[in-house]
Copies of this chain bind each other. A is one copy, B any other.
């Protein structure tokens, strides 16, 4: 199956370089800029269900291919009708390629032209994953958007290593595209409209990034991600790479900055034309008692909240703030009661989803720069 007429990215408007777009998929429309909510193994951490995601305004859910391949197994998910049916979520899902986990979770691994040999982080058994395997697994999961299999080179890497790594990732990308086309043309494929995003790499070397961006742009993929950032370099270096690279990716395709980031990171990256984001911060920090607000982060474990009757954030419409006080949530966190983690995660994801909605409005109304400055000033002013 080729890309359908209905699977298109529409650039709605620009405010300087910031883009507001709309990606139409077989699982519905994604308004960008968007923050994807991360549900590693087919569930958001913090006992958040797909019904909760609908309530907090989640547009896209991100699941991890490697984790689902290891448990329950992508063959099981396929047998259950794909990830959408398995986790009862009918809106878009993006799956990563598994590459990042292969490189970050696995101890022993060997990178070869054909792919990567490594050991399962659960039971140590040997696994091989290359471009074709990653596409087949993601096709079994039947996500809306599949990510290309790439090497996320370590930071820092030498120029020599980065050049050879990026060249191999480019060769892998062609294989990903071919395999995805083959899979989408099979009659027994669950989602024959599965999209493929390529991934730009090159570390902090602007010239490698640009050459790679121009090369992969020619493949006319459904979207393009910028990988290998937020891996140890400074925020300034990250923005410098975005500034240099994004103009070399097709403007009429969505741009996804992988694994980023804080609300401030997102506000800044949008200004370079990024459409998609994902990050574990709202879930992970929520589980550690940190709540995001327009006035900066609160640590709910702080004694000052012991008898604070206010919601986490005044005026917030999330399921936690509508009903529960800081004092109650603090009590639950102190007592290690699961409900405390759940309420924190619901608030933080709602905060991120609302931030993206505000960002889209500000771009539409051509006041993005002022909006961003005011928002960043609020975060700074209110820090505990």
Contact = CB atoms under 8 A, between A and B. Distances in A.
Q: Which of A41, A51, A343 has the most CB of B within 10 A?
A: A41
Given A43-B337, A71-B331, A49 B342 contact: yes
Given A48-B339, A342-B49, A328 B87 contact: yes
A105 to B, nearest CB: 15
A250 interface: no
Contacts of A155: none
Interface string A254-293: 0000000000000000000000000000000000000000
Q: Which of A319, A325, A335 has the most CB of B within 10 A?
A: A335
Contacts of A72: 306, 327, 331, 334-335
Copies in the complex: 2
A338 B339 contact: no
A190 to B, nearest CB: 14
Contacts of A86: 325, 327-328, 331
A42 B332 CA distance: 8
A38 interface: no
Given A43-B332, A328-B42, A323 B51 contact: yes
A71 B338 contact: no
Nearest to A88: B323
Given A72-B334, A80-B307, A334-B71, A47 B327 contact: no
Contact of A325 (B45, B80, B323): B80
A48 to B, nearest CB: 7
Contacts of A332: 41-43
Contact of A335 (B41, B81, B88): B41
A325 to B, nearest CB: 7
A317 to B, nearest CB: 14
Contact of A43 (B43, B47, B49, B339): B339
A46 B338 contact: yes
A13 B46 CA distance: 45
Interface of A: 41-51, 71-72, 76, 79-81, 86-88, 306-307, 309, 319, 323-325, 327-328, 331-332, 334-335, 337-343
